[in-house]
């Protein structure tokens, strides 16, 4: 692509909307991951007895193990949600921006 096409893409309001939406969405998911992960680490650091308690009477699973597994499962689910949105909404918006730039170039 020529530099004029790139310039039209960058100036396109749809492109700017795409960048803003994608950034806001990824920063929100990143903040959730950081808060949950470091929240778990803080509980481990400041209340290890809570993390070491069994999930049920006689269980070998502790609250910490169960919560840790749930954290990783939730991270995988958030990744799947992001990929789904990226492959749908964000890709569609990208294609619209590129197509409009090509039409203006011809």
Q: How confident is the model over 42-76, as pLDDT tens digits?
A: 999 999 999 999 999 999 999 999 999 999 999 99
Q: Which residue has the higher pLDDT, 2 or 7?
A: 7
Task: Name the more confident of 57 and 101.
Answer: 57
pLDDT value at residue 104: 73
Res 7: pLDDT: 83
Predicted confidence at residue 1, as pLDDT, reads: 56
pLDDT-above-90 percentage for the chain? 80
Q: Model-level pTM?
A: 0.78
The Cα 34–Cα 42 span in angstroms is: 12
Mean per-residue pLDDT of the chain: 91
* CA distance to 1, 11, 46, per residue, from 102 (Å): 9, 14, 57
Per-residue confidence band for 19, with pLDDT thresholds at 50, 70 and 90 = very high
Of 69, 70, 85, nearest to 28 (Cα)? Answer: 85
What tokens appear for 101 in the block? Answer: 């730039």
């Amino acid at each position: 692509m020529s530099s004029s096409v790139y310039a039209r893409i960058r100036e396109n309001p749809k492109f700017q909307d795409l960048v803003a939406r994608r950034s806001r969405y990824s920063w929100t998911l990143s903040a959730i991951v950081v808060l949950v992960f470091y929240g778990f680490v803080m509980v481990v650091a400041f209340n290890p007895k809570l993390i070491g308690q069994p999930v049920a009477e006689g269980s070998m699973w502790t609250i910490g193990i169960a919560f840790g597994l749930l954290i990783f499962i939730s991270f995988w689910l958030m990744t799947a949600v992001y990929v789904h949105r990226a492959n749908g909404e964000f890709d569609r918006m990208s294609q619209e921006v590129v197509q409009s730039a090509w039409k203006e170039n011809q």
